[in-house]
Amino acid sequence: NAGVTQTPKFQVLKTGQSMTLQCAQDMNHNSMYWYRQDPGMGLRLIYYSASEGTTDKGEVPNGYNVSRLNKREFSLRLESAAPSQTSVYFCASSEVFSGGSTDTQYFGPGTRLTVL
C-alpha cells in the first residue's frame, strides 16, 4: 500500500517548456487535490477533483490544467512554464470531499520544480 505517489521527484525546466506532473493513489479515495508550496505562503490549492469525472479551480489555477484520468490518477500540466511556477507541488487525496473532522487528506512526497 504505497498511499499517494508522485512523479517526478525533481524537475528543472526552461521558461516556455511544458510538462505533466503525475499523481496516483491506491487508497480508493474519491477526492484528489494539487497544491503548491512556496516559502512564507503555505500550501495553496491549484485544482481539485471532488470525485472522478469532475475538476474545479482552486485558489491559484492560472497557468495550470488538470486531468482526472480515472479514480486513481490526477495529473497536473504546465503548458508554458514560467519562473513564477518554481515551487514544490504536492498531490493529496481524501476519502470524500467534505472537510469533516474525519476527512483526512493524505499527501504525496512532492515534486520540486525549478523553472529557469
Partner 1 sequence: RKEVEQDPGPFNVPEGATVAFNCTYSNSASQSFFWYRQDCRKEPKLLMSVYSSGNEDGRFTAQLNRASQYISLLIRDSKLSDSATYLCVSYTGRRALTFGSGTRLQVQP
Minimal distance, residue 15 CB to partner 1, in Å = 25
Q: Output the smallest distance, CB 43 to partner 1, in A.
A: 4
HSE value, Cβ hemisphere, 13 Å, CA-based, for 16: 0
Query: Of 19 and 43, which has the nearer Cβ to partner 1?
Result: 43
Smallest distance, Å, CB 55 to partner 1?
12
> What is the enclosing helix (H) or strand (E) of 11?
strand 10-13
- Strand pairing class (106-107; 42-49): unpaired
Alpha carbons 48 and 84: distance in angstroms, whole number? 21
Going 88 to 9 to 32 to 70, the CA torsion angle's sign is positive
Least distance in angstroms from the C-beta of 53 to partner 1 = 17
User: Cβ closer to partner 1: 80 or 104?
Assistant: 104
Q: Please, which residue, 59 or 79, has the CB nearer to partner 1?
A: 59
The smaller minimum CB distance to partner 1, of residues 58 and 63, is found at: 58
**Beta strands 111-115 and 10-13: pairing type?**
parallel
Residues in touch with partner 1 (CB under 8 A)? 33, 35, 40-45, 48, 56, 58-59, 90, 97, 99-102, 104-105, 107-110
